[in-house]
């Protein structure tokens, strides 16, 4: 469980929020499967425009704020952790809790995506046979969603290095938060995202990462650190939920207008990079949604979900291993049910519920293994 760095009080709302965010990660990745759009090993696609817009909206919102908010939360608690620990202890904890889970996924689970692709093409191999061929050829290994762990490890490594070099400047003190800081964050985020995407569109990788979204991730990580050092966490209690819900409604209308009047289907690439009006609009919309959804989620969970019960504790304790295993579970579930004919939206919710249930079961079993319990 997570505690407030200053009062020692349990921050149950952060545990519960992280559970929701991991579930949204799973929901977003499954939406890619049934939208037919995006970067996923197995896809099904319908000609139904309603389903397409439904899935594209889920992907848009999840991509805009979920991982960004994760980086903000991580930036806050990493700052708190390095204030308590030596350089070596901090780095070892990150190797244990970020590096090893990433390597476990990379070495043993990441070939599941290429394996599913091989099954679609008609190759008849067991997963172990395919994995062993991948080992011998050193192919089919990819970062997958745990790229987040590697990116966070890099951010934390740079952060703790800078912290120990300039420690006298990292002083925890109370600072007054002003709303125009969020406007400044939004403008810098949108402009830097647009600039990066001119060279690295959303569909382009660099060293295994997709740089198109990294301006947002880095700014949110820095923002999390500032919340700790300026002791701005009390500002969350003053957030007006109603105001942020109005912003979310505006963002929803804004994206529906573009989807309905720009003939988006078949022109997805125009949103991914460059300086077209689609790219401008999407970069600013994503940055707007990242700010408003993060503030809304923090406010809602701080007010209504700052408590725990045995079921919520169980979920919070098992979301990390769930995050590690969810990719192969989603791929296997969707592929296994490919012949199950039903409208895609109901099928999506059915496969989502099934996959989450399997993931939580696997997480429960993994946490029974003592050595893995120390990692997760």
Per-residue pLDDT tens over the stretch 39-91: 788 888 777 878 888 898 899 899 999 999 999 999 999 999 998 999 999 99
Note down the domain range covering 257: 65-84+172-305
Residue with tokens 């889970």: 101
DSSP-derived letter for residue 263 is T
Residue 187 in any domain: the answer is yes
The larger pLDDT score, comparing residue 201 to residue 357, is at 357
Residue 176 in any domain: the answer is yes
148 contacts 70 by C-beta, under 8 angstroms: yes
Integer angstrom CA distances of residue 232 from 38, 84, 188, 235: 36, 19, 20, 6
The residue count for the chain: 376
Question: What letters, b where the CB count within 10 A reaches 16 and e where it falls short, cover 19-55?
Answer: bbbbbbbbbbbbbbbbbbbbebbbeeebeeeebbbbb
Residue 79 in any domain: the answer is yes
Residue 33 in any domain: the answer is no
Confidence (pTM): 0.92
Tokens of 211: 């740089």
DSSP E strand boundaries for 114-208:
none
Residue 192 in any domain: the answer is yes
Q: Which residues pair with 264 in a beta bridge?
A: none
pLDDT tens for each residue of 314-340: 999 999 999 999 999 999 999 999 888
Residue 76 in any domain: the answer is yes
Report the number of distinct structural domains present in the chain: 1
38 contacts 32 by C-beta, under 8 angstroms: yes
Query: In 3D, which of 56, 24, 64, 55 has the Cα closest to residue 288?
Result: 64
Region of 122 please: left (phi>0), alpha (psi -120 to 50) or beta: left
């Amino acid at each position: 469980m997570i505690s407030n760095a200053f009062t020692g009080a349990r921050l149950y709302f952060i545990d519960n929020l992280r559970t929701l965010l991991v579930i949204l990660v799973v929901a977003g990745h499954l939406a890619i499967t049934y939208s037919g759009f995006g970067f996923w090993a197995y896809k099904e696609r319908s000609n139904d425009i309603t389903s397409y817009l439904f899935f594209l909206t889920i992907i848009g919102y999840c991509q805009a704020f979920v991982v960004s908010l994760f980086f903000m939360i991580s930036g806050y608690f990493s700052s708190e952790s390095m204030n308590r620990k030596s350089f070596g202890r901090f780095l070892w904890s990150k190797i244990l809790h970020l590096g090893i889970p990433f390597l476990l996924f990379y070495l043993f689970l990441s070939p599941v995506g290429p394996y599913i692709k091989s099954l679609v093409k008609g190759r008849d191999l067991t997963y172990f046979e395919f994995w062993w061929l991948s080992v011998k050829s050193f192919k089919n290994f990819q970062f997958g969603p745990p790229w987040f762990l590697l990116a966070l490890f890099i951010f934390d490594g740079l952060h703790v290095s800078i912290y120990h070099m300039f420690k006298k400047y990292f002083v925890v003190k109370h600072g007054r938060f002003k709303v125009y800081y969020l406007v400044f964050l939004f403008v810098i985020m949108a402009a830097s995202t647009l600039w990066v995407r001119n060279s690295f569109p959303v569909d382009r990788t660099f060293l295994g990462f997709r740089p198109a979204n990294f301006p947002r991730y880095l700014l949110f990580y820095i923002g999390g650190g500032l919340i700790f050092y300026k002791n701005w966490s009390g500002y969350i209690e003053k957030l007006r939920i109603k105001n942020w819900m109005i912003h979310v409604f505006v963002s929803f209308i804004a994206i529906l207008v573009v989807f309905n009047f720009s003939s988006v289907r078949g022109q997805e690439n125009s949103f991914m990079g460059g300086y077209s009006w689609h790219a401008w609009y999407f970069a600013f919309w994503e940055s707007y949604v990242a700010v408003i959804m993060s503030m809304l989620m923090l406010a809602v969970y701080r007010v209504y979900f700052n408590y725990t019960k045995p079921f919520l504790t169980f979920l919070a304790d098992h979301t990390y291993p769930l995050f590690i295993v969810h990719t192969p579970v989603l791929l296997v579930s969707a592929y296994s049910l490919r012949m199950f004919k039903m409208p895609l939206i109901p099928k999506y919710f059915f496969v989502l519920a099934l996959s989450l249930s399997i993931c939580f079961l696997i997480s429960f079993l993994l946490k029974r293994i003592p050595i893995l319990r120390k990692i997760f």
